Structure 1
Amino acid sequence: MSDAVKRNLVAITACISGVAHTYMAAERLEKLCQQEKWSVKIETQGALGIENPLTEMDIRNADAVLLLTDIDIAGAERFTECRYVHSGISAFLREPQKVITAVRKVIGTPQQTHIILRQDTFR
């Protein structure tokens, strides 16, 4: 598929305190996806609970899943059959292009392909 094809992503953001970074990462991701001309739906799991929950249909229709989390997330089993990229929130906020590059790589791979970006990947 060429880059001209509209990509559809879903994401979850969740940080330890559930306050600032959860929402900062969601906002940053929305802006990056606009630049990439990708559509994105982001579920936040923060201090206010789960907001903008991803539906089964959202997940099924996604080209890839992006998990920006520093904690275990509610409903993680929803993504076991999906291709996804998992990164810590702080790492994403520091170097978002590394995460976007990983998303580009995972799109087009077989389902159940998982790319885990360790914290030391960003040093």
Structure 2
Amino acid sequence: MKIIGITACTAGIAHTYIVAEKIQQAATEAGHECKIETQGTIGAQNELTPEDIKTADVVILAHDIAVGGVERFKGKPVVDIPISVAMKSPKSLIATIEKKLGKK
């Protein structure tokens, strides 16, 4: 499964990047491809390309503030959660997505 997403925390500093790393690590450990765009204080990094979006099976939006560019994901399954959920349980998040989408 190909997972893409965006992380953004209130301060736009630590949690934005920590959660991106945690999601990527949990997805990779579960055998999935994953790319996460961060929207922090220095702007968007690791930006998702149109090809990333086109080939994605699911989009994770882990945020505590408004994220930009969500219209790019029209027609894709989107998991929209507070950043704390992904911070505390990234493996559980990936397992839940696998179960709901029926993909391993």
Output the TM-score relative to the length of structure 2: 0.89
- Separation of aligned partners in 2, 1:106 and 1:75: 24
> Aligned match of 1:81 in 75, 85, 95?
75
Give the corresponding residue for 2:64. Answer: 70
Give the corresponding residue for 1:29. Answer: 23
The answer to whether the 8 A contact 2:16-2:38 is kept is yes
The answer to whether the 8 A contact 1:14-1:69 is kept is yes
Give the corresponding residue for 2:53. Answer: 59
3-state SS of paired residue (1:30): helix
- Aligned residues between the structures: 103
3-state SS of paired residue (2:66): coil
The answer to whether the 8 A contact 1:85-1:106 is kept is no
1:101 aligns with 2:95: yes
The percentage of aligned residue pairs carrying the same residue is 39
Output the TM-score relative to the length of structure 1: 0.76
Give unpaired runs (5+ residues) of structure 2.
Answer: none
Letter in 2 for 1:94: K
Deviation (angstroms), 1:104: 1.1
Largest Rg, 1 or 2? 1
- Separation of aligned partners in 2, 1:98 and 1:33: 10
- Separation of aligned partners in 2, 1:71 and 1:102: 23
Deviation (angstroms), 1:108: 5.0
- Separation of aligned partners in 1, 2:65 and 2:52: 22
- Separation of aligned partners in 1, 2:99 and 2:46: 26
Q: CA RMSD in A?
A: 1.6
The answer to whether the 8 A contact 1:83-1:106 is kept is no
